[in-house]
Amino acid sequence: MAFRLSPHLTVMANAAQKASKRLLRDFAEVEQLQVSVKGPSDFVSQADLRAEQTLKEELNRARPGYAFLMEEGGASGSENWTWRWVVDPLDGTTNFLHGMPHWAISIALERRLPDGGSEVQAGLIYAPAADEMYWAEKGTGAFVNERRLRVSARRDMSEAVFATGIPFGAVSAPRRNAFSRTLAALMPQIAGIRRFGAAALDLAWVAQGRFEGYWELGIKPWDIAAGMLIVREAGGFATDVGDGDPRETSNIVAANPHLHAKLRTAVAEGMQTQR
């Protein structure tokens, strides 16, 4: 697969594969990991921290001077960055700690635009337990390992399976209510809703056509930056509920072109009740 990767994606893939080796060892001995609680149902393990350190060292060694935005370590590097890595070292920590093999490493590369904004230029999501590496670069398509990705072609809501993130204890009551109203509106219309607990992989599976769409409110940029690009390069849409950037508003709706508008409308109507 390496011969198909650009220099940036090669750096990302090598870093993810190196971090994954220790994660897989930790996963095999998960009962021995030290775990701390950041908030209700929000955990960080020694596995997260070690993986993040490995990723930062590898990415920085290959591209010194690039800035970072990392789940555990926050922002670092120059405030006037041109390139920035956005990293979630272990998306799906709760799954990992419960011995469920649905978790991933997510790495995105942002480029600063002249207007002060940024766009994602490359994204990579690696699921070590399944040995599935999803990757995309702006304008070049999306792939899993060596296979090209395309979003689902389903057009009918009655055939659609959507993914989401169910709010947990730390989530505010207004956002829980918005989710509940969206769920109640969608359930009678569709084939099913899934909650697997790893936003990066939810987006990767939309790109792969396993899901017709995915939505979540209050999501972090490191959870979605890589997946947004992969969905778009696979022919789908990944937007905010309105006209904003999901990385900035923390709300995302991703789906194939046939069902995106319907899913976004359902989520937007649910959010109108937030008060």
Domains and CATH numbers, the chain: 2-148 (3.30.540.10), 157-271 (3.40.190.80)
Q: Are 194 and 187 in contact (CB under 8 A)?
A: no
Q: Give residue 2's pLDDT.
A: 44
Q: How far from chain centre, in Å, is Cα 6? A: 21
- What is the torsional sign of CA 10, 109, 164, 207? negative
Q: What share of the chain is helix, strand, coil (3-state, %, to 5)?
A: 40, 25, 35
Q: Give residue 38's pLDDT.
A: 56
Phi-psi bin for 265: left (phi > 0), alpha (psi -120 to 50), beta?
alpha
Note down pLDDT in tens along the chain; length 275 residues: 445 689 999 999 999 999 999 999 888 887 776 665 554 444 457 888 999 999 999 999 999 999 999 998 999 999 999 999 999 999 998 899 889 999 999 999 999 999 999 999 999 999 999 999 999 999 999 999 999 999 999 999 999 999 999 987 677 888 889 999 999 999 999 999 999 999 999 999 999 999 999 999 999 999 999 999 999 999 999 999 987 899 999 999 999 999 999 999 999 999 985 44
The 3-state DSSP class for residue 168 equals coil
